[in-house]
């Protein structure tokens, strides 16, 4: 065999060997070339506020999971997009130690609403779990990412709920007292004897009359925001980790120090409140400064009898008004001692009329519609077809029936605060830069989940 034949034979042998060693490196674990499988990151206790969730304690092998938890399952890819969520919503199972399924609610926060929540699913039992019992949360390997990759294996998370409920409230020893010190015109410091509990006192609630003003872990609380020369009765109650609270805690009646300044500011003769920049929805108010025996510290601005705001200057911009509507505004002056005038200047104005919409407002193409997505017991997401305009559509106004819910620049809106099992009608109108508003926008009827 000559040298060329030897080289060729060696090349063929190496090619054959490499075909068995290199190929598996590039084989996809989920059937998609080069794709990395969806990976489970963790499961945590969470609280959802609006469209944002917290990441609390991990429940993996935990023995302190509450009886009605909300569990955040976190993975490393988007699992909430429209194309995969219907499948993913069925990929979670909660079982007790006997293998019996526990009814759960599986939810998510749309990636179109809060993109940072795209890798999360939220699982909540429909009823309280049993105290001190073991459970397992099963995440199916069929869980699918937006890209189409799957976990390819079931993930089982074991946890145990808190032990049997403690029903014994803390106890106040005979002679326990609530004392007051550092009494000023606007505040007081409260101190009390510590209560005892069969396990441990974890916190104290402080009341002004029947109003809860604070919760602390220690035996002291500083009250502020009181009125000079006024009598108050404070009371404290002790609680434990199980939520048991006393009802016979010690009380203390306190009278704040008398105000050293009882003279209200004064409006000079001819003082006035003027209006400028009157639009369909707002107005700018300006007024003559008042005087005081010490100093005017702030002004309160009213729409009728409704307080709109408190400012330190002599100007205030009002917004959120209705076109073609009459309003009466008034301003009052106050000082540091809390003395306020009652005879401040007033001004009645009428906002600009809504301009005619015929031929000037944005238009909706034939077939334009508004649709509801992610409908839950208390909320949903509205999306709609964009309107058109000779110049440009600036904003969209969203209504629930005839009640305006808000104004946005995009073509979706998140609705909160709805009632379960209730029908609502939502409508969208388009507004251009000139302020012209359409009147024939699309609407949709939606029934929230029960």
Does the pLDDT of residue 33 top 60, yes or no? Answer: no
Average of per-residue pLDDT across 209-223? 97
Same domain, residue pair 397 and 290: no
Average of per-residue pLDDT across 210-228? 96
- The torsion region of residue 201 among left (phi > 0), alpha (psi -120 to 50) and beta comes to beta
Name the band, by pLDDT with cuts 50, 70 and 90, for residue 2: low
> Given 202, 226, 255, which residue is the final one in a domain?
255
Q: What is the pTM of this model?
A: 0.35
Does the pLDDT of residue 417 top 70, yes or no? Answer: yes
Same domain, residue pair 153 and 189: no
What is the per-residue pLDDT for 162?
84
The answer to whether residue 13 sits within a structural domain is no
> Given 98, 128, 160, which residue is the final one in a domain?
160
How many CB atoms sit inside 10 A of residue 57's CB? 11
- Portion of the chain with pLDDT greater than 90, in percent: 78
What is the per-residue pLDDT for 63?
87
Same domain, residue pair 123 and 216: no
Same domain, residue pair 195 and 246: yes
Does the pLDDT of residue 378 top 80, yes or no? Answer: yes
What is the per-residue pLDDT for 35?
77
Does the pLDDT of residue 204 top 80, yes or no? Answer: yes
Same domain, residue pair 141 and 200: no
Three-state helix/strand/coil letters over 13-66: HHHHHHHHHCHHHHCCCCCCCCCCCCCEEEEEECCEECCEECCCCECCCCCCEC
Q: Computed from CA positions of residues 196, 198, 203, 206, in that sequence, does the dihedral angle turn out positive or negative?
A: negative
What is the per-residue pLDDT for 193?
96
What is the per-residue pLDDT for 375?
95
CA angle 393, 397, 400 (to 5 degrees): 155
Does the pLDDT of residue 50 top 70, yes or no? Answer: yes
User: Under a CB-based contact definition with an 8 Å cutoff, are residues 319 and 335 in contact?
Assistant: no
Same domain, residue pair 435 and 405: yes
What is the per-residue pLDDT for 26?
35
Q: What's the CATH code of the domain at 321?
A: 2.60.40.10
The answer to whether residue 311 sits within a structural domain is yes
What is the per-residue pLDDT for 359?
56
- What total number of domains does the chain contain? 4
Q: In the predicted model, what is the mean pLDDT of the chain?
A: 90
What is the per-residue pLDDT for 8?
52
> Given 108, 133, 160, which residue is the final one in a domain?
160
Same domain, residue pair 75 and 154: yes
Poorest-confidence range of 22-26, 141-145, 356-360? 22-26
Q: What's the CATH code of the domain at 79?
A: 2.60.40.1220
Same domain, residue pair 83 and 132: yes
Does the pLDDT of residue 22 top 50, yes or no? Answer: no
The answer to whether residue 80 sits within a structural domain is yes
The answer to whether residue 11 sits within a structural domain is no
Same domain, residue pair 206 and 136: no
Q: Write the pLDDT tens digit of every residue in 95-145.
A: 999 999 999 999 999 999 999 999 999 999 999 998 888 999 999 999 999
The answer to whether residue 74 sits within a structural domain is yes
Q: Write the pLDDT tens digit of every residue in 251-309.
A: 999 999 887 788 999 999 999 999 999 999 999 999 999 999 989 999 999 999 999 99
Q: Which candidate, 259, 255, 256, places its Cα nearest to that of 184?
A: 256
Question: From CA 195, how far away is CA 148, in angstroms rounded?
Answer: 58
What is the per-residue pLDDT for 260?
78
What is the per-residue pLDDT for 307?
96
Same domain, residue pair 155 and 197: no
Name the band, by pLDDT with cuts 50, 70 and 90, for residue 34: low
Q: Write the pLDDT tens digit of every residue in 57-91.
A: 999 999 889 999 999 999 999 999 999 999 999 99
The answer to whether residue 24 sits within a structural domain is no
Same domain, residue pair 45 and 145: yes
**Structural domain of residue 304, as residue ranges?**
273-350
Give the length of the chain.
450
The answer to whether residue 365 sits within a structural domain is no
Phi, psi dihedrals of residue 261, rounded to the nearest 5° = -120, 115
Same domain, residue pair 77 and 144: yes
DSSP secondary structure string, 354-375? Answer: PPP-TTTS-B--TT--EEEES-
Sheet of 412-415: strands edge to edge?
370-373, 380-384, 412-415
Average of per-residue pLDDT across 34-52? 92
- Encode 84-93: b = buried (16+ Cβ within 10 Å), e = exposed: bbeebeebbb
DSSP secondary structure string, 283-315? Answer: EEEEEPPPB-SS-EEEEEEEETTEEEEEESSSE
The answer to whether residue 266 sits within a structural domain is no
Question: From CA 336, how far away is CA 66, in angstroms rounded?
Answer: 48
């Amino acid at each position: 065999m000559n040298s060329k034949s030897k080289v060729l034979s060696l090349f063929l042998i190496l090619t054959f060997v490499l075909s068995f060693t290199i190929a598996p490196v590039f084989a996809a674990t989920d059937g998609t070339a080069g794709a990395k499988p969806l990976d489970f990151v963790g499961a945590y206790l969470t609280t959802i506020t609006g469209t944002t969730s917290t990441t609390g304690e991990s429940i993996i092998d935990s023995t302190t999971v509450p009886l009605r938890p909300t569990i955040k399952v976190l993975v490393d890819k988007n699992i909430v997009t429209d194309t995969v969520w219907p499948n993913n919503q069925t990929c979670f199972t909660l079982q007790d130690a006997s293998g019996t399924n526990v009814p759960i609610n599986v939810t998510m926060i749309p990636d179109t609403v809060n993109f940072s929540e795209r890798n999360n699913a939220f699982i909540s039992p429909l009823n309280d779990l049993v105290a001190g019992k073991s459970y397992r949360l099963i995440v199916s390997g069929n869980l699918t990412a937006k890209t189409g990759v799957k976990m390819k294996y079931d993930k089982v998370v074991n946890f145990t709920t808190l032990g049997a409920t403690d029903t014994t409230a803390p106890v106040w020893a005979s002679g326990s007292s609530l004392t007051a010190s550092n009494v000023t015109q606007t505040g007081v410091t409260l101190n009390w004897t510590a209560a005892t509990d069969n396990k441990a006192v974890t916190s104290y609630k402080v009341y002004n009359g029947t109003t809860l003003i604070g919760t602390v872990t220690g035996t002291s609380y500083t009250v502020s925001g009181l009125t000079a020369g006024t009598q108050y009765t404070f009371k404290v109650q002790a609680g434990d980790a199980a939520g048991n609270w006393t009802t016979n805690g010690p009380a203390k009646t306190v009278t704040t120090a008398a105000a050293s300044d009882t003279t209200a500011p004064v409006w000079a003769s001819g003082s006035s409140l003027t209006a400028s920049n009157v639009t369909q929805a707002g107005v700018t108010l300006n007024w003559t400064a008042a005087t005081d025996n010490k100093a005017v510290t702030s002004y309160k601005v009213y729409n009728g009898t409704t307080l709109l705001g408190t400012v330190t200057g002599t100007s205030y911009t009002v917004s959120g008004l209705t076109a073609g509507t009459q309003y009466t505004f008034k301003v009052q002056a106050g000082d540091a001692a809390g003395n306020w005038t009652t005879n401040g200047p007033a001004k009645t104005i009428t906002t600009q009329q809504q301009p005619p919409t015929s031929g000037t407002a944005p238009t909706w193409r034939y077939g334009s519609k508004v649709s509801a997505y992610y409908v839950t017991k208390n909320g949903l997401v509205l999306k709609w077809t964009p309107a058109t305009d000779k110049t440009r559509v600036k904003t969209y106004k969203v209504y629930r029936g005839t009640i305006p819910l808000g104004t946005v620049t995009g073509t979706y809106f998140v609705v909160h605060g709805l009632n379960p099992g209730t029908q609502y009608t939502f409508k969208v109108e388009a507004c251009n830069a000139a302020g012209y508003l359409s009147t024939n926008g699309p609407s949709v009827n939606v029934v929230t989940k029960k």
